Amino acid sequence: MRLNLKVRMPSSPPFPVQRHRLPARSWLRSLLLLSVIVPGIASAEPRPENMVYLRTIDPTIEQDIRYASAHNFTGHSLDGYAAAECMLSLDTAQALARVQQALQKQGYGLKVFDCYRPSRAVADMGRFATEPGDPRKAEFYPRVDKQDFWRLGYVARVSNHSRGSTVDLTLTGPKALPAATWSPSAVQVDCTAPYAQRWHDGALDMGTGYDCFDERAHTANPAINATAKENRQHLSSAMEKEGFSGYSKEWWHFTFGGEGAPKNVMDFPITPLSANEVLGTSRQLIVVTTKNWDDIQGIAQRYERVEGSFRKVGDEFAVVVGKNGMAWGKGLGNIEPNEGPVKREGDGKAPAGIFKLGTAFGYDTTADTKLPYLSLTSTTECVDDSESQRYNELVDGAAIAKDWNSSEQMRKEAGYRKGIFIEHNTPASPGSGSCIFFHIWRGPASPTLGCTAMDQGDISRLFEWLDPRESPVLVQMPEGEYEQWRERWKLPLR
């Protein structure tokens, strides 16, 4: 990270934890005074033209944007992170793409944890450091008092991240342990624990986890093992060749020093990509269509991007959707439909729109898939109570205090023997619908309560084919609406 006020957490499922804030301390008054001096801290502004989504420049760079989820040192998603997307200045993004290209030739790659950070998020970090409570201390700063973040150099008053030229990232490679699927009930393990024991972020051993407020995270710390030292040096060398400089107290933190690097801090929020941006960066596409809004049966087809256009992969296959058909859902691309039903909790309709595909899940302990995988237990629940702070979350009901009256018991549904999250209504808006999946059907004439179901063989093929590095998306809607949007979104002919 480096919290440079650093008034420095949707695979999947990345549902932000709701939280209640206490009144700010006197430190915030200093921040408000600072905002008079430093342009852009006090108020939001439109996104400058030179700020781009990294995935539109290089979609092969993996993303795990921690501050858009609760898996970070504060334990909550930060203000200004309305989407789990890396944004950077154009020059910075292009330089990072060159680093990725060089690493890929060596069999390695990059994964980013944070990029542009709105100054309101920096202020949010500052508030956290002055308020009671340490929800993620055991993982991220077990030996540090959070009031000492600034004195120890882990936090700064103004963040270079807010200038769009700083990234937090790590190195991936063939010897990396597979990424684990995080949920708020995950056991906290000290970020300095041995590689096999601490959180599995899908990266190589770098000596500590990301955002670890500890001397072992200092770039040149001599206490880390030889493998971690070599990996840090490999990452630093690759970054420095393209004009990035590191930070001595955080091995993951790099700032681009090129001529085009922005100078002013910014406060525009990170929002989802437009439909064209989403589809333009995807290299795997699943299209599901029905005859009309009320039909329960549909057809699905897989596509891969080849030389700039989508080509069919395999044969089409049958699916069933909600018992009451489809309705416009809350997905990617900020779609504003002019007509048609709108998805609501409990309406028995499958969501229509463009959706990211997230975590795979099932009864088996492991699965043959590149997607993050969650093995369901007898206490795994998906919360569908709109009044709950866990609404639209998959949780371990035995590990957390319940504030819901309604949920799906995942192991009690035979169709969930194999499934994939369809990230509808993420982050969750109360009443807009929850717990939407691909899963195994009861039969070709048996609709669902809002999911999209199919034969076990077809979902097994999706397990094997889908790759999060290819930015897979689902486009799902009636045939008439698909034709209406197809040309505008550059979708393939059905």
- Position 390 scores a pLDDT of 86
Query: What is the predicted pLDDT for the residue at 435?
Result: 97
User: How do the domains of the chain map onto residue ranges?
Assistant: 26-256, 275-489
- Average the pLDDT over each of 40-54, 60-74, 94-108, 386-400 and give the range with the smallest value: 40-54
Report the distance separating Cα 119 and Cα 4, nearest Å. Answer: 10
In this prediction, residue 158 carries a pLDDT of 85
The confidence score (pLDDT) of residue 260 equals 63
Q: Which residue has the higher pLDDT, 49 or 270?
A: 270
pLDDT of residue 335: 67
As a whole number of angstroms, the distance between CA 268 and CA 170 comes to 26
Segments in 131-172 forming alpha helices (H): 137-140
pLDDT of residue 454: 98
Please state, for a pLDDT cut of 70, what percent of the chain lies above it.
Answer: 89
For residue 340, count CB atoms less than 10 angstroms from its CB and return exposed for 0-12, middle for 13-18, buried for 19 or more: middle
Residue 436: phi, psi to the nearest 5?
Answer: -105, 125
**The predicted structure's pLDDT at residue 311:** 96
Q: What is the pLDDT of residue 226?
A: 98
Give the model confidence (pLDDT) of 224-262 as tens digits: 999 999 999 999 999 999 999 999 999 999 999 976 666
Find all residues with CB under 8 Å of 224, minimum gap 6, and list them: 207, 208, 216, 232
pLDDT at 44: 55
- As a whole number of angstroms, the distance between CA 265 and CA 164 comes to 8
Q: Nearest-CA neighbor of 7 among 20, 22, 33? A: 33
Using CA atoms, how far residue 465 sits from 228, 354, 359, 364, 415, in Å, is 32, 19, 14, 18, 20
* Residue 250 annotated to the active site: yes
Task: State the average pLDDT for the chain.
Answer: 88
332-336, 368-372, 377-381: least confidently modelled range: 332-336
Query: Tell me, what DSSP letter sits at residue 322?
Result: B
Question: Domain 26-256, CATH 2.10.25.10 — does that match?
Answer: no
**pLDDT in the model for residue 41:** 38
* Statement: residue 15 has pLDDT above 50: no
pLDDT band at 93 (very low <50, low <70, confident <90, very high): very high
Per-residue pLDDT at 392: 93
pLDDT at 22 over 60: no
Identify the active-site residue in 62, 139, 242, 250.
250
pLDDT-derived band at 40, boundaries 50, 70, 90: very low
Q: If phi over 0 gives left and psi between -120 and 50 gives alpha, with beta otherwise, what is residue 59?
A: alpha
Return the beta strands (E) in 386-432 as ranges: 394-396, 407-409, 418-422
How far apart (Å, rounded) are the C-alpha atoms in residues 490 and 482?
A: 11
**Confidence tier at 163 by pLDDT (50, 70, 90):** very high
